[in-house]
With several copies, the nearest count.
Chain A
Amino acid sequence: MNLKELYQEIILDHGKNPRNLRKTENFNKDAKGHNPLCGDKVHVYLKLNENKKVEDISFEGQGCAISMASASIMTDLVRGKEEKEVKEIVNDFLEMIKEKNQLNNKILHEDEKTKLMCLSGVKNYPMRVKCATLSWHTLTSAINNSQEEINSETD
Chain B
Amino acid sequence: MNIQNIKKEFPIFKNKVQNNDLVYLDSANSSQKPLVVVDRIYDFYTKEFSNVGRSVHYLAVAATNLYENTRISVQKYINAKEKEEIVFTKGATEAINLVASSFGQKYLKEGDEVLISELEHHSNYVPWHYLRKSKGIKIEFAEINKNGEISLEEVEKKITSKTKIIALTHLSNVTGAILPIKQITEFAHSKGIPVLVDGCQSAPHMKLDMQELGCDFYAISCHKMYGPTGLGILYAKKKWLEELPPYQGGGGMIGEVKKSGITYGDLPNKYEAGTMATAQVIAFNESIKFINEIGIKNIENHEEELIRYGEEVLRKNNSVKLIGSPKKRGAVLSFTIDGIHPHDIATILDEDGVAIRAGHHCCQILHDKLDLTASARASIGVYNTKDDFDKLNSSINKCKKIFNSK
Contact = CB atoms under 8 A, between A and B. Distances in A.
A123 to B, nearest CB: 13
Interface string B49-89: 00001101000110011000000000000000000000000
B266 A154 contact: yes
Contact of B360 (A6, A39, A131, A151): A39
B45 interface: no
Contact of B373 (A7, A40, A149, A154): A40
A22 B367 CA distance: 23
Contacts of B256: 34, 36
Contacts of B340: 65
Nearest to A126: B61
B269 A153 contact: yes
A133 to B, nearest CB: 14
Contacts of A43: none
Contact of A39 (B64, B339, B347, B359): B359
Given A39-B374, A128-B343, A3 B359 contact: no
B318 interface: no
Interface in B357-406: 358-360, 364, 367, 373-374, 402-404
Given A12-B404, A153-B266, A153-B269, A37 B344 contact: no
User: By CB atoms of chain A within 10 A, which of B18, B60, B360 has the most?
Assistant: B360
A37 B359 contact: yes
B255 interface: yes
Interface residues of B, number: 35
Contact of B343 (A38, A41, A154): A38
B373 A3 contact: no
Contacts of A37: 53-54, 252, 359
A16 interface: yes
A139 B71 CA distance: 30
Nearest to B375: A39
Nearest to A7: B402
A134 B64 CA distance: 19
Chain B binding surface, main DSSP class:
mixed
A90 to B, nearest CB: 20
B351 interface: yes
B364 A34 contact: no
Contacts of B347: 3, 6, 125, 127-128
B373 A39 contact: yes
B265 A153 contact: yes
A34 B255 contact: yes
A62 B373 contact: yes
B343 A1 contact: no
Contacts of B367: 39
Contacts of B56: 38, 125, 127-128
B348 A3 contact: yes
Contacts of A65: 340-341, 344, 403
B254 interface: yes
B360 A12 contact: no
Contacts of A63: 341, 343, 373
Interface in A114-151: 125-128, 131, 149, 151
Interface in A53-78: 62-66, 68
A38 B360 contact: yes
Interface of B: 18, 53-54, 56, 60-61, 64-65, 252, 254-256, 263, 265-266, 269, 339-344, 347-348, 351, 358-360, 364, 367, 373-374, 402-404
Instruction: Sort A-B residue pairs by CB-CB distance and give the 5 closest, nearest first.
Output: A64-B341, A64-B343, A127-B56, A39-B373, A38-B359
Given A151-B265, A154-B266, 19 more contacts: A1-B18, A3-B351, A7-B344, A15-B344, A16-B339, A16-B403, A34-B255, A36-B255, A36-B256, A37-B252, A38-B56, A38-B360, A39-B360, A41-B373, A64-B344, A65-B341, A125-B347, A128-B56, A153-B269
Interface of A: 1, 3, 6-7, 12, 15-16, 34, 36-41, 62-66, 68, 125-128, 131, 149, 151, 153-154
14 contacts: A7-B348, A12-B403, A36-B256, A38-B358, A39-B367, A39-B374, A64-B342, A65-B403, A66-B343, A68-B341, A127-B60, A127-B61, A127-B64, A131-B343
